[in-house]
Chain A
Amino acid sequence: MKVAIASGKGGTGKTTLSTNLASYLAQDHAIVLTDLDVEEPNSGLFIEKTLKYEQKRSRMVPVWESSTCTLCGRCQQVCNFHAVIKLGREIMVFPELCHGCYACSELCPHNALPMQPTPMGTLTASAAGGFDFIESRLDVGQEQAVPLIAQTLAHVDEHYGDEVIKLYDCPPGTSCPVIESIKDADIVILITEPTPFGLHDLSLAVETARKLGKEFAVVINRHGIGDDGVAEYCSREGIKVLAKIPNSRKAAELYSNGELMYPHIPEIAQQLEQVSQYIMGQMNGGEA
Chain B
Amino acid sequence: MNIAFTTKGTDWKDAMDPRFGRADYILVYNETEDTFSSFDNRAISGTAHGAGPQTAQQLFEMNPDVLITGNGPGGNAAAALQRSQMKIFIGAGSMTVREAYEAYKAGKLNQA
Contact = CB atoms under 8 A, between A and B. Distances in A.
Interface in B79-112: 79-80, 83-84
Interface of B: 47, 49-51, 53-54, 56-57, 60, 76, 79-80, 83-84
Give the interface size bracket for A toward B.
10 to 19
Contacts of B84: 87-88
Given A82-B47, A87-B60, A97 B53 contact: yes
Interface of A: 76, 79-83, 85-88, 90, 92, 94, 96-97
Contacts of B56: 85, 87
B60 A81 contact: no
A87 B49 contact: no
A80 B76 CA distance: 16
B19 to A, nearest CB: 16
Contacts of B76: 94, 96-97
A79 B83 CA distance: 20
Q: Which 9 A-B pairs rank lowest in CB-CB distance, beginning with the nearest?
A: A82-B50, A85-B57, A82-B54, A81-B49, A82-B53, A87-B83, A97-B50, A81-B50, A85-B53
Nearest to A79: B50
22 contacts: A76-B57, A79-B50, A80-B49, A82-B50, A82-B51, A82-B53, A82-B57, A83-B49, A85-B57, A85-B80, A87-B56, A87-B57, A87-B60, A87-B84, A88-B60, A88-B84, A92-B79, A92-B80, A92-B83, A96-B76, A97-B53, A97-B76
Contact of B50 (A87, A88, A90, A94): A94
Contacts of A83: 49-50, 53
A90 B83 CA distance: 9
A173 to B, nearest CB: 15
